[in-house]
Amino acid sequence: MATVAISLIRPQTEKTRPPRALWVPFQLGRPFGPPAEPAFQRRVVLAALRLLERPAGPVIIEDFPDDDPREKADPSWRPPALPAVLADRPPSGLTAQLDAEILLLADLHRRWIAEHRRTAVGLSGLSMQEIGGYIDEWLHGREPPSPNDGFSPLLLLRFTADDLKAYCLEAGAAQPGKPSSRQLYDWFWKATAAGSALLALRHMLLASDSERVKLIAGNFLVPPPYVPSTARVATIAATSMGPWQPGQ
C-alpha cells in the first residue's frame, strides 16, 4: 500500500525515512495548518497526495512552500480583560488568582464552544473548578489523590495542565479577531495566572528526587519557547509554595 506522511519535524523524518513525506512548517498539533481554514488545509492535503504521482524514490521528502497564514499577528485582537489585581497581586496569592481567572474566562469559553461546536478541554474528566483546585494542591506542595480512578495523581496533573491551557487559549481565541498562535501563547504564558501557575509548578517539580516527576515537569507542562530564562527562574521560585515532596 502506497503511503504519504505529513511531517512536522523534518530531522525526525529524515531519520525514519518514510517512502514519501510532506514537511509542513506549522505548529505542532496542526499538520494541515490553522483551524477553520478549509481552503488552506485542502492545499496541504492535495500537496501530500500528489507525492503518490512522483516516480522517484525510494525516499521523497518535499517541503510545503507556505507558512501558516494565521501566524501573522492580528492587530485587531485584544486579550481578555482581566482585572489588574490578577496580574499585580503578590506571588503568595497565585492560587486565588488562578481560581478567579477560571471563573472570569467562563463566558468566553462558552462562546468558543457555541461558535466552534468543539473543545480540546476534557482529558482529565474534571470540571474547570476541580482542575483549579487540583493544581492548587500541587502548588501548595501536596500530592492530592486522583479523583479519576483511571489516572495516577501525576498523570492526572499532566492532563489537568493540558485542560487548563486549552481552556484559556480557547477563551482567548473567542475574542473578536483571529489571533495568531504566538499572540495567544504570549498572552497565556506572560499575562495570565494560569500560565504563571504552570511555570511555578514546573520549577517546583524539577526539584523532586523522582525521575518520573521531573520527566513530566520538564517535558509536558511548559513548551520549550516559554521555559523561563535563568534570570526569571528566581522570580518564579518566589511564586512556588516551597519544595514539592510526595505524600505531603
Exposed/middle/buried for 9, CB within 10 Å: 0-12, 13-18, 19+? exposed
Name which of 224, 211, 214 is nearest 28 in CA terms. Answer: 224
Name which of 125, 130, 185, 132 is nearest 155 in CA terms. Answer: 125
Q: State whether the Cα torsion 225-119-170-132 is positive or negative.
A: negative
Beta bridge partners of 20: 60
Q: Which three cell numbers stand for residue 22?
A: 510532506
Q: Which three cell numbers stand for residue 4?
A: 504519504
Q: What is the mean pLDDT of the chain?
A: 85
Band of pLDDT at residue 26, cut at 50, 70 and 90: confident
Question: Using CA atoms, how far apart are residues 222 and 201, in angstroms rounded to an integer?
Answer: 10
Band of pLDDT at residue 245, cut at 50, 70 and 90: very low
Given a cut of 60, whether residue 48 has pLDDT beyond it is yes
Give the rounded percent of residues in the chain with a pLDDT score beyond 90: 56
- The number of CA neighbours under 13 Å toward the Cβ of 40 is 17
Q: In Å, how far from its chain's centre is CA 148?
A: 22
In this structure, which amino acid lies at residue 245?
A: Q
What residues contact 113, with CB distance under 8 A and at least 6 apart?
119, 170
Tell me: the pLDDT tens digits for 50-104?
A: 999 887 667 889 999 988 877 788 899 999 988 654 444 444 578 888 999 999 9
Q: Which pTM was predicted? A: 0.75
Beta bridge partners of 60: 20
Given a cut of 90, whether residue 205 has pLDDT beyond it is yes
What residues contact 219, with CB distance under 8 A and at least 6 apart?
none
Tell me: the pLDDT tens digits for 97-148?
A: 899 999 999 999 999 999 999 999 999 999 999 999 999 999 988 889 999 8
What's the pLDDT at 11?
86
Question: Using CA atoms, how far apart are residues 166 and 21, in angstroms rounded to an integer?
Answer: 29
